[in-house]
Amino acid sequence: MALGSLRLGNLSQEHIVLAIAVLIFAVASATLPGFFTPDNIVSIIRSVSVLGILALGMAIVIIGRGIDLSAVAIMAMSVAWYLQLLNDGMADAAALSLVLAGVLMIGLLNGFLVAYAEVPAIFVTLASGSFVFGYVRSQLISQDAVPVPNGHWVELFGGVRYFDIPVEVFIFGALAFVIFLFLRYTKWGRYVYFAGDNPVAARNVGMPVRPMLVLRYVISALIAFTAGLLTAASLHSINTRVVNSTLLYDIVLVAVIGGIGLSGGKGGVSNVLFGAALIGIMLNAMTIIDIPLIYQNLIKSTILLAAIIIDGLLNPRDEQTAQQGDI
């Protein structure tokens, strides 16, 4: 962060978002009663935990110059299928292995089609997301909402607290840390940036560009499954209607607003955290003020638009920076 401001002397989008988030936080703390309390801060973090986890998966894919539009479908449908199997009386281990295998398959399929068949990621994942939703909804489960069986570990897991803080906050933190380590300190993590920045050059110097691409979609699918389990743990059921909601756009929003460029090769875990912080603080403050949802959406989207415009002004695209495969 400090490096970034030293390098060019002008603000990156990451800093703009962080500044806006801090500003809203400060104003809300000063003016809204009950905003600046430990309980409320925990609930802010918690409210964006699942969103943030999904955005972490999305970030890995976007940094590698892709996008995963099947994330929400995988999240909801894998868990719905898992719970349905349990409700139908299948043993836990068998159900979990079956569902994990399914999640892996979809991740591999996404990755294979993008990496080897060279179909643009946006089409592949859009289609696979619809496929996952349609297949699971019509063939494997009988209702939109599938409850967690009574006394199952998923239900108990949702009630786990350390220091009065819900478990998903810790999982969000742990996942963020692991992905930070992966992207920053592992060879394949660094390769994600190189491959995202210039895939041709990355391949020419001998990086396993295609297998890495496949790996990213598999990671994204597994992260989506984790996010789904956490959702079910908290709500004691999973509602597949979430696939039709704006959640997918919110995930991309968190990643993009945090400053992860859709053209790839830029950004990291901190961007996701800043993006998630901004969204969480904004939604929480608007809920406390009791702003109706339609205005909340308007305000949210206006801020997204502003962030994109500011980014466009600060980091203009031209022939040199525009890359083939931009979305």
Partner 1 sequence: MKRYWRVLLTAGAALGVSLMATAPQAAEDPAPATYAAALKDKRIVLVPMAMGFDLAQGWAAILQREVDAFGGVFETRDPNWSVEAGAQAITEVISSDTKPNVLIVMSPDLNSYSKLMKRAQSEGIYVILIDNPANFAADAYVGSDWTHLGRLEAEAVVKGCGPNSSKKIGLVQGDQVNATSLYQYAGIMEVLAKNPDFQVVAKPDSNWDATTSRNVTTTMLQQNPDICGIIDFWDGDATGAAAAIRDAGKQDQVFLVTTGGGEKTADCDRIADGTYGAVVMTELAQETHNMVAIIKYLLQSGQAPGTASPYIYTLMKATTKENLRPDSCWDLKALQAEAAAK
Residues in the site for partner 1, rule: CB under 8 A?
A: 33-34, 37, 39-40, 43, 46-47, 50, 137, 142-145, 147, 158-159, 166, 231, 234-237, 239-242, 244-245, 283-284, 287-288, 290, 292-294
Cβ nearer to partner 1, comparing 19 with 289: 289
Query: Shortest approach of partner 1 to residue 183 CB, angstroms?
Result: 27
Phi then psi for residue 238, to 5 deg, are -125, 135
Query: Shortest approach of partner 1 to residue 114 CB, angstroms?
Result: 27
Phi then psi for residue 42, to 5 deg, are -60, -40
Strand-strand pairing, 145-147 and 161-162: unpaired
What three-state secondary structure class fits 165? strand
Cβ nearer to partner 1, comparing 67 with 230: 230
Paired strand residues for 161: 166
Residue type, 326: D
Cβ nearer to partner 1, comparing 11 with 32: 32
Cα angle value 66/10/48 (rounded, 5°): 50
Distances (CA, A) of 86 to 147, 151, 219, 225: 10, 12, 25, 16
Query: Shortest approach of partner 1 to residue 276 CB, angstroms?
Result: 13
Which residue has tokens 């990213």?
Answer: 216
Query: Shortest approach of partner 1 to residue 121 CB, angstroms?
Result: 24
Cβ nearer to partner 1, comparing 296 with 315: 296
Query: Shortest approach of partner 1 to residue 152 CB, angstroms?
Result: 14
End-to-end CA distance of the chain: 26
Query: Shortest approach of partner 1 to residue 160 CB, angstroms?
Result: 11
Cβ nearer to partner 1, comparing 39 with 318: 39
Query: In sequence order, what are the residues at sequence separation of 6 or more whose Cβ sits closer than 8 angstroms to the Cβ of residue 125?
Result: 67, 68, 69, 70, 71, 110, 217
Cβ nearer to partner 1, comparing 51 with 60: 51
Query: Shortest approach of partner 1 to residue 218 CB, angstroms?
Result: 25
Residue type, 85: L
Query: Shortest approach of partner 1 to residue 304 CB, angstroms?
Result: 18
Query: In sequence order, what are the residues at sequence separation of 6 or more whose Cβ sits closer than 8 angstroms to the Cβ of residue 269?
Result: 56, 59, 176, 179, 180, 183
Distances (CA, A) of 240 to 80, 267, 278, 323: 7, 31, 26, 36
Of 214, 178, 245, 208, nearest in space to 66 by CA? 214
Cβ nearer to partner 1, comparing 226 with 231: 231
Cβ nearer to partner 1, comparing 110 with 240: 240
Rounded to whole angstroms, the Cα distance separating 111 from 124 reads: 9
Tokens of 211: 């297998």
Query: Shortest approach of partner 1 to residue 166 CB, angstroms?
Result: 7
Cβ nearer to partner 1, comparing 82 with 133: 133
